[in-house]
Chain A
Amino acid sequence: MIVNKELIKKVAATAKLELTEQELEEFIPQFEEILKTFSKLAKADTKNVLPSFHPVPLKNRMRDDTIHSSLSQEQALSLTEHKKDGYFKGPKVV
């Protein structure tokens, strides 16, 4: 597994993180070491084994489609600095 600046920059862009040059330099050897260790899993024989996404079996649990109380619009907007006319205000999309 080759870890270089380009790979880390690509992952960082996907994860919406800006890294400093210093962070990039620091992460390269660390990621190499960690990913090399993670690659050890390739040795495990998982032929015909299904993945477990939970430790205990879970069934889909459906709720009745009924009206419940919820936060008011005012409450929902009370924690943001960015709001206008009763809505959240976000950054430019286009």
Chain B
Amino acid sequence: MNINTTQQQLEKINEEYHYFNKLCNVQTKKTGKLKDYVISVKDALCVKDVETKGGSAILEGYKPLFNATVIEKLLAEGATIIGKTSQDAFGFGTFSTNVGNNMQIPLNPFDKNHSTGGSSGGAAGFTQLAKKKGIKHIALGESTGGSIAAPASFCGVYGLTPTYSLVSRYGLLDYANSLDKIGPIAASVKELAMCLSIIAGHDEKDATSSKTSIPDYEKGLSKPIKGMKIAVIKECFGKGIDPAIKQNILETIETLKKQGATIEEISLPTTTEYALEAYYILAMCEASTNLAKYCGIRYGRHEKLEGNFNQYFSKVRSHGFNKEEKRRILLGTFARMSGYRDAYYIKAAKVRTLIIQEYKKAFEKYDILISPTMPMVAPTFDEIKRLTPLQHYMVDLMTVGPSLAGLPHISCPTGFKDNMPIGTMFIADHFQEEKLLQIASSIEELNHG
């Protein structure tokens, strides 16, 4: 490896923190922008010949015969892929505690009793630890409803969720096709920008991939934010938010004002009222169809071939899926069933239209919207155990809105509460990643200044 780390060092880190489901060492070219970088990849992304499980036991032993498009692009720039990072099974979670049967829960790099957040938990946790150890590293994460922003916030690193369709999803294990986005998590904004420039762009293999032209995202980083019109989402400071986080975001806003940005307040009543419910219905409906293909025939977990097809498929799936996977498959199947479809699935898709319209209207007036990334700092595992499934889903309140609307958003570390990081989230209109990186860059300067 042409990098300042070794396989043994990674193994040692992994024994202690559980950031990887599988370690590997894949490099196909020694030149390019990423020749000095190690790249970790969320387990949901296919890397040829490297076990890829999406954190689920149903895919135990699956070694893809091909690379995801994003992996091909990174390898073409000289990257060394070092492993598949741990996650909630298929992305079903906010704390990386819903890992597949027999897998380990990643631990927060600031305090091992706390969650890394999820579902790209291993990705964000390792990004923070690599920074502390001086390893040049970028993580590829994936977000459906906040799975890049949440762990980035809990682990004190930068996480960029691009506009839906900007980055090819070919080779990603689908959670929900209309919501899934692949994006980078890194210790610096420059690294986010560099990685996005490499992975963004049209791909014929993904029918939803956008043909929009890709700028050089690194170029705009130094542009001052003077004159930028920013709106704070009023409802994000309602009940349920940790007062320390509120205080931190208000301080962040003050510093942006000092740099010449104009700050106003905006209300997003439809999103606030309905986004969480609409998101979970659509995500579960799509997940239940996507996971129907895992039945122990072509790849992944197998069982002894006996009984009729109903018995065989049910046996494989009942053994391979954990409780949260079962819960979401059942709820998604229910919401699509005859008699309930209009009330749940179609209704949620209509509410999604209203939510998209609400954001689009906001972006007629503003460049950027601000909210906390998460309503809390990383909770302890004991605290998480006490949450009901519904309370667990509620934590995604801030991130499901932009996810439903396919809007790019970035989580930036802006402070600490009791030594655990706080994240501020910036949201921009479709394909306005440059503005997000520009504002994140100004935040980063303050962090280091």
Instruction: Give the residue name and chain of the B residue nearest to A29 (CB).
Output: B388
Q: Which of B150-158, B214-222, B244-252, B311-319 contacts A (4 or more CB under 8 A)?
A: B311-319
Describe B's contact surface by its main secondary structure. Answer: helix
CA–CA, A54 and B430, complex, Å: 13
- Using Cβ atoms and an 8 Å threshold, which residues of chain A touch B318? 17-19
With contacts A16-B295, A52-B349, A80-B299 taken as known, whether A33 is within 8 angstroms of B309 at the C-beta atoms is no
Binary contact readout B328-369 vs A (1 if CB under 8 angstroms, 0 otherwise): 011101110100000110111111111010000000000000
Beta-carbon contact of B210 and A56 below 8 Å: yes
Chain B residues whose C-beta falls within 8 Å of the C-beta of A14 in the assembled complex: 333, 337
Contacts of A90 in B (CB 8 A): 297, 305, 309, 312
Do A79 and B353 touch across chains, with their CB atoms under 8 A apart?
Answer: no
How many residues in B have their beta carbons less than 8 Å from beta carbons of A? 72
Do residues A51 and B349 form an inter-chain contact, with CB atoms below 8 A?
Answer: yes
Q: A11-B330, A55-B356, A61-B207 are in contact. Are A16 and B314 (CB under 8 A)?
A: yes
Q: Which of A72-94 contact B (CB under 8 A)?
A: 75-76, 78-82, 88-93
Task: A33 to B277: give the CA distance in the assembly, Å.
Answer: 12
On whether A51 and B317 interact (CB within 8 A), knowing A30-B327, A37-B390, the answer reads no
Residues of B within 8 A of A16 (CB): 292, 295, 310, 313-314, 317
Cα separation A25 to B335 with both chains bound (whole Å): 20
Bound CA–CA A81/B297 (angstroms): 8
- Tell whether A12 pairs with B330 under 8 Å between CB atoms, given A55-B404, A82-B305: yes
List of B residues within 8 angstroms of A39 by Cβ: 343
Tell me the complex Cα distance, A61–B356, Å. 23
Closest to B332 in A: A15
Cβ-defined contact, A92 with B307, below 8 A: yes
Contacts of B207 in A (CB 8 A): 58, 61
Q: Provide the bound-state CA to CA distance between A88 and B299, in Å.
A: 11
Q: Would A18 and B305 count as touching, CB distance under 8 A?
A: no
Interface of A is mostly: loop
On chain A, the number of residues with a Cβ less than 8 Å from chain B's Cβ atoms is 51
Determine the chain B residues whose CB is within 8 A of the CB of A58 once the complex forms. 165, 207-208
Contact partners of B307 in chain A: CB under 8 A: 91-92
- As a 0/1 sequence over residues 39 to 75 of chain A, the CB contacts with chain B under 8 angstroms (1 = contact) are 1111010100111111110100101000000010001
Are B330 and A27 in contact, CB atoms less than 8 angstroms apart? yes
Query: Any chain B CB within 8 A of the CB of A23?
Result: yes
Decide if A56 touches B164 in the complex (CB within 8 Å).
Answer: yes
Residues of B within 8 A of A55 (CB): 164, 178-179, 352, 356, 404-407
Q: Does B383 contact A (CB under 8 A)?
A: no
**Contact: B311 with A91, CB < 8 Å?**
yes
**Is B326 part of the contact surface with A, judged by Cβ < 8 Å?**
yes
Which of chain B's residues 399-420 have a Cβ closer than 8 Å to chain A? 404-407
**Residues of chain A within 8 A of B388, CB atoms compared:** 30, 33
18 contacts across the A-B interface (CB closer than 8 A): A12-B330, A15-B330, A17-B326, A34-B389, A38-B344, A40-B273, A40-B277, A41-B277, A44-B274, A44-B351, A46-B351, A50-B350, A51-B350, A52-B349, A79-B63, A79-B298, A91-B306, A91-B307
